[in-house]
């Protein structure tokens, strides 16, 4: 069983580079009782067809807070 929540990643959370623009992202967080939680991120403007290949998922413990890495 999992608990899933969906959130927008705000502009303040996005990394920006002088050479490229970062697309706005959304993410879905799934909390699992019997395994690590997972966060899946994808571009906000994906079509239903594109979302099947335009995503990345990270499990709890495989990511860090951006402010801790600066």
* Digitized pLDDT (tens) for each residue of the chain, 70 residues in all: 556 555 555 544 444 444 345 558 898 999 999 988 999 999 988 898 998 999 999 888 887 888 998 8
The tokens describing 15, both together, are: 């990394």
Nearest CA to 26 out of 11, 14, 43 is that of: 43
Q: What is the pLDDT of residue 57?
A: 92
Nearest CA to 13 out of 27, 2, 3, 1 is that of: 27
43 CB-contact burial (10 Å; exposed 0-12 / middle 13-18 / buried 19+): middle
Element (H or E) spanning 68, and its range? helix 66-69
Angle (CA) 63-35-60 rounded to 5° is: 10
Q: What is the pLDDT of residue 19?
A: 39
Q: What is the pLDDT of residue 23?
A: 52
């Amino acid at each position: 069983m999992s608990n899933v929540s969906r959130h927008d990643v705000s502009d303040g959370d996005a990394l920006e580079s002088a050479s490229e623009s970062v697309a706005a992202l959304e993410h879905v967080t799934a909390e699992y009782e019997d395994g690590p939680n997972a966060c899946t991120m994808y571009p906000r403007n994906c079509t239903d067809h594109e979302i099947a290949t335009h995503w990345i998922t990270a499990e709890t413990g495989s990511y860090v807070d951006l402010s801790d890495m600066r």
